Structure 1
Amino acid sequence: MMLKVGVLVAVAVFLETVSGTSLGVVYTEGGMVQGENIRLGFRRHMDIFKGIPFADIPGRFEKPKRHPGWDGVLKATEYRKRCLQVNLIMTDTRGSEDCLYLNIWVPHGRSVSTGLPVMVWIYGGGFLAGGSMGANFLDNYLYSGQEIADRGNVIVVTLGYRVGTLGFLSTGDSSLPGNYGLWDQHTAIAWVHRNIRSFGGDPDNITIFGESAGGASVSFQTLTPHNRGLIKRAISQSGVALCPWGVIKNPRRIAEEVALKVNCPTDDKMAACLKMTDPVLLTMAGTLSLSSSPDNPLVNNLVLSAVIDGDFLPDEPTNLFHNAADIDYIAGVNDMDGHIFTGLDIPSINAPLVDTPIEDMKRLLASYTKDKGKAGLDNAYSTYTSSWESNPSKETVKRTIVDIGTDYIFLVPTQAALYLHAANATTARTYSYLFSQPNRMGGIGRPYPSWMGADHADDLQYVFGKPFTTPLAYWPRHRDVSRYMIAYWTNFAKTGDPNKGDLSVPATWPKFTNTGHQFLEINSKMDKRERKRGGKKQVPCISSVHLMR
């Protein structure tokens, strides 16, 4: 009997394997493409396409153009180079100008998928660095869409876009209008809208999502009039268009500084000279200065980003939220998003045995509030120290500095964007979150202090399912967090409501409205708290005043 069962199982597995579902060769507007088909489990397969061109090799400081197409079948099985950019320590460059490619993950069950929701990822990196595949360790790419696609039953797309000087340098006029990286993103989104049906996707149900500069990019893509009708939903993680680093206030000054570095004139011949300059020299001329202090915080060095060009961004972002009136929107931050920045500005906050002078905090506040003058500084200082004791502890001072950075760089702008989205919404829904899973490097004998919360970019590993991809590197609680985030994110992509979809969630996420500015706190204790409270999680009401602490 057992032998018969074994034979039947073997036959079933064999038949399932040889008849595995696959799209095979897919026809796109540029030509035919074929990816790789992998088996994920019983009657579960996935087609993965890497390196599909969505535009031609871009002209220097020009908008992207349609790809001319190709003959035969394009083998889309390898990631293409990221766009030309500085390396992590900013001593050299990597990448190529030939970089406008995207990657697609398509899950299948018993039959080939059709009409699936589509999630398009836009990476972060301060508009200076990053790639569609993300960081890589032993071929484990951070932005692999496999876990999200498989667990959430959605199509995942990741795209490349120009960064640094080549993506965002602008003279502030028509000679070098800027926003080339944002145009790349838009072109990729439009390509997905035109072609994704051939991959089993629903072109009328596209969700864009991104983190940091990618989160701000998502915000910009919802605000530009050029995406009308292309995007149904959007998720901004730790970045919105209103962030102080989101829009360059004086692009001409930055362009002249770059021109001088590459021996170009700063008169009316500047643009022509820059267009003929070696792209590596141009890229190196746009490096970020990593030397910072309370008087010159790192965030002020992020000088290559979007500009009000009268085209992609016809006005200040605050005046463009009517363009997102029908786009469902999630936006949120990590509870210590500002730590990575303030830790460079004031290194002593990460030294538990070293005092951080209160004067350093005042200097940082003065830098953030310089447009408000002394009255602004005094008001901010009194706000952040109102709950202090007469002799605050080392930890209190250090945590307050992180709060200040988090609020200024990420949280308050995100709250403002949520208010504006909710106020302008017609059919759209608005949701707010706070991610607070503690950083895994915090504690005694580790690089970060024991009070460390969720640092900038800590959410990425959970959204992309790394606790499942590399289980030995994580605890069960981390898999819980990843499961929760993938459920909320993909439910939202399917229905516009993170609570409703194919995956169960640990707590109800309330809408953010003009009268109820509610949010969801995401961490590994959500499920336990839910059980303790009989399944009725109390979600606190929060306002931007409270979030200023």
Structure 2
Amino acid sequence: MKKVSVTNHQSNYIFVFGNKAIHHKDIKRTMVYTVLLCLLPVLPLVAPVQYHTLDTPLGKVAGRQVPVGTGNTVYKFLKIPYAKPPVGELRFQKPVAVERWSSIHDSTEHGPSCLQAIPATIKNVLENKEVSEDCLHLNVYTSGGLSSTTNKSVMVFFHGGAFVTGQAQLYDGSGLALNGDVIVVTANYRLGVLGFFSTGDSVARGNYGLWDQIEALKWVKNNIRSFGGNPDSVTIFGESAGGFSVSLLALIPQNKGLFHRVIMQSGTYSSAYAINEKPKDFAITFSYLSKCKNVQTSQAIFDCVRNIPTDLIIPTQTNAIRMGLLAPDSLFRPSCAPVVDGELIKRAPMVSMKNTSSDVYAFFQSLDVIAGCVSAEGSLLHAYIYPYMEESYGFNTSEGVPSSLLRSYFARVVAEQLYKNQSNVWKAIVDKFGSSDIQVQARKIMDLYGDIFFYMPMIKTLDIHASNNKDSSTFQYLFSEPNLVSLSGKPHPSWFRGSEHGTELIFLFGIEQMKSMNINISSSTLDFVKQIITYWANFAKYGDPNHGADDGTRWPEYDEVNRSYIDLAVSSISQQKSMFRDRVKFWEKDLPLIASTPVTDRAASLMSVKWTLLIMLFLYHLIRCL
């Protein structure tokens, strides 16, 4: 049984008994509860938590009021439903807006994560460790005086997790809201099969998770004023799969007015990981493993899968993903991801961007944009992939990686899938990224992976946005600060350099949690955190991360010629140009020239069972860690 606490705010009495928020009219009954509590054994005293209620267009909500420092207050309104539970007939359907409630909604604790297999390292730090199909909730964080007239800019964050894992509750927006003087919203969206199952036609179009994100943004548009937010100043941002998501939302003209600025962190629409080009392959595999009797037609598949018991979805999904990895193009095709559905996403993103007179292109260029990456996106390899290749290639990840891994696997797969197995392309990649030093080789393979799936797609996206654009701003960053802790839970090898995938989220959302873990946070690190939050919040408020800044390094605007960006690290925040210039030149100019004179190596195309199994293993762990 939880503590009972009582607060008075603007003549609204709220009693919290367990998870229930009780209005002052029920005071007599609450007094009875209090008497009963007095009869229980004495428990250790806990400082009472304060609560606050406010009216929204959907009804009253009761959230937490948390004192921070001297004279500061953060308000947390958690587990606010923005759509009806997507269960039963609503499974594999667009979200349906939630209806108004009559009683006070308890927004004091986090809701469950959307259905998934939560990694143990993540599950251990979650307040709510449950998963459920009924998960379409969002959290609102704000600070200062809670008034509908404050008109603060709003930042809506969508989490990453390869579209199969992740949860809003992992990202506490309190620090960003308080120090950036903005309102932060974090939202769950459907994942995996439930979020992105598609038959590749009108029977099951897919993209349910993206529709959820749009519904959450509609909730913000209609309700955020009650929390003091400005619905006409909304920035969406996300990391990894969240970055892919917000970049895709920025290509949908129907979203005009729902948001005005976009921050893409380690993921843009031009990456192979943003779109599943062959969704029906996975749909057939999943339905077959679900023991559907008929997988011959889309309708038969849909009718069967729609009724699969909830507890069978995740284990079946995991097996289907493993089987899908046997496809020769699986390295460049996620199993569960957004699709070109002909409705929400009408054509492939890069195809849409070629038409500079289209409404898609115009909408994208109308938005202010930041896009960036960490300096070691390839950390996904050493944390999750290299250890599973050690036996086959005879190496120890902690010591380094042999060049045979580049020649026989990474260079081979890139040449096969992107350049029709041209042996001259394979050789050029080996020459560019090869090294006889196993430690240097380990880092160079990480560079290769990062270039293909993160850095080059980011640069393409920024070039498109900045091209002849006089209506909005474009900014790029590279986050170079090494991690405070290893995000994978494994120690970094001695050869590892840079900032691993997801590191910037610690500085945006998690610095207080680091303090609570007794991790020493230097004053220079705290100053750095303050500067990062200032950049992000200024961009959200003004479309310019430098607005009103009298000190600190000015963040240069990006253009196609100079490709200026800001390098973010505690030791130095600096202006730079042409990120990874030499490698970018290789992918943009050198390799296309080499590939223009194709030389087919038929023997190289005959991949043995050994390589097939390695691909399957590699991609399985890659999908789980994004």
Same fold (TM over 0.5): yes
Deviation at 1:261, TM superposition (A): 0.7
Aligned partner of 1:462 in structure 2 is 507
Find the residue that maps to 1:270 and give its secondary structure: helix
Aligned twin of 2:316: 285
Contact in 2 for aligned 1:342/1:401 (Cα 8 Å): no
1:480 Cα shift?
A: 3.6
**SS of the residue 2:366 aligns to:** coil
- The answer to whether the aligner puts 1:330 opposite 2:370 as a matched pair is yes
Looking at structure 2, the residues matched to 292 and 56 of structure 1 have their Cα atoms a distance apart, in angstroms, of 32
Contact 2:412 2:421 in 1 (8 A): no
Residues 1:452 and 2:497 aligned together: yes
Match of 1:419 among 455, 459, 463: 463
SS of the residue aligned with 2:169? coil
Take 1:18 and 1:25, find their aligned partners in 2: how far apart are those partners? 8
**Structure 2 counterparts to residues 206-217 of structure 1, below 5 A:** 206-217=234-245
Matched residue SS, 2:410: helix
Partner residue of 2:439? 395
The CA distance in 2 between the partners of 1:353 and 1:20, in whole Å, is 65
Q: Which moved more, 1:164-173 or 1:105-114?
A: 105-114
User: What's 1:114 paired with?
Assistant: 150
- Find the aligned partners of 2:520 and 2:451 in 1 and give their Cα distance: 29
C-alpha distance in structure 1 between counterparts of 2:513 and 2:91, whole Å: 41
Asked if the contact 2:565–2:575 (Cα under 8 Å) also holds between the matched residues in 1, the reply is no
- Are residue 306 (structure 1) and residue 335 (structure 2) matched? no
Where does residue 404 of structure 2 map in the other structure?
358
Q: How does 1:361-510 map to 2 (within 5 A)?
A: 361-373=407-419, 378-379=424-425, 381-382=427-428, 385-386=431-432, 392-423=436-467, 425-440=469-484, 446-466=491-511, 470=515, 472-476=518-522, 477-501=524-548, 506-510=552-556
| 1:4-83 paired onto structure 2 within 5 Å | 24-58=52-86, 59-83=90-114
Deviation at 1:515, TM superposition (A): 3.0
Q: Check conservation: 2:146, 2:227, Cα contact below 8 A.
A: no
Summarize the Cα distance change of 1:498–1:354 in structure 2 as closer, same or farther, 3 Å threshold: closer
Paired residue type of 1:132: A
For structure 2, the residue ranges without an aligned partner over 5 or more in a row are: 1-7, 13-49, 124-128, 353-359, 587-626
Change (3 A) 1:219 1:387: closer
Q: Judging changes above 3 Å, is the alpha-carbon distance between structure 1 residues 297 and 31 closer, same or farther for their aligned structure 2 residues?
A: same
For the aligned residues, what is the CA RMSD? 3.3
What is the rounded CA distance, in whole Å, between the counterparts of 2:162 and 2:506 in structure 1?
18
Residues 402 and 436 of structure 2 are in contact (CA less than 8 Å); yes or no, is this contact kept in structure 1? Answer: no
With 196-205 and 482-491 compared, the bigger mean Cα shift is at 482-491
In 1, the alpha carbon distance for the partners of 2:51 and 2:559 equals: 42
Distance 2:132 2:230 in 1: 32
Deviations 1:448-506 (A, max 9, x none): 224321111111101114157616314314334322221111111111111114x6663
What is the CA-CA distance between 1:420 and the residue it aligns to? 1.5
2:312 counterpart of 1:272: no
Counterpart code for 1:510: P
In 1: Cα distance, 2:572 partner to 2:327 partner: 39
Distance 1:424 1:246, change over 3 A: farther
8 Å CA contact retained: 1:43, 1:110:
no
Is the contact made by 2:114 and 2:132 (CA closer than 8 Å) also made in structure 1? yes
- The corresponding residue for 2:39 is none
Shift of 1:380: 5.8
Count of residue correspondences:
510
- Cα drift, residue 322 of structure 1: 2.7
Residue 309 of structure 1 aligns to which amino acid in structure 2? D
Q: Distance in 1 between matches of 2:322 and 2:285?
A: 17
Query: Any idea what SS the aligned residue of 1:321 has?
Result: helix
Contact 2:324 2:335 in 1 (8 A): no
Distance 1:249 1:340 in 2: 23
The letter of the residue matching 2:295 is T
SS where residue 369 of structure 1 aligns? helix
Residue 526 of structure 1 pairs with residue 572 of structure 2? yes
In structure 2, the partner of 1:138 is none
Q: Give ranges in structure 1 of 5+ residues lacking alignment.
A: 1-16, 135-142, 528-536
Correspondence for 2:561 among 505, 515, 533: 515
Aligned-partner SS, 2:220? helix
TM-fit CA distance, 1:111? 7.7
| Aligned partner letter, 2:498 | G
Which structure's CA Rg is the greater one? 2
- Cα deviations across residues 286-341 of structure 1 (Å, max 9, x unaligned)? 22758999998995573100000111111211214332121111011111112213
Distance 1:144 1:87 in 2: 18
Q: Which moved more, 1:397-406 or 1:426-435?
A: 426-435
Alignment of 1:217-256 (within 5 A): 217-256=245-284
- 1:434-457 CA-partner distances (Å, limit 9, x unpaired): 111123468xx9442243211111
User: Which secondary structure state, in structure 1, belongs to the residue aligned with residue 61 of structure 2?
Assistant: strand
**8 Å Cα contact 2:400-2:442 kept in structure 1:** no
Q: Confirm or deny: 8 A CA contact 2:158 2:168 kept in the other structure.
A: yes
Report deviation, 1:199. 0.7
8 Å CA contact 1:20–1:43 kept in 2: the answer is: no
Residue of structure 2 aligned with 1:133, choices 161, 166, 169: 169
TM-score, normalised relative to structure 1: 0.85
Shift of 1:540: 2.4
Partner of 1:5: none
Q: What residue in structure 1 maps to residue 138 of structure 2?
A: 102
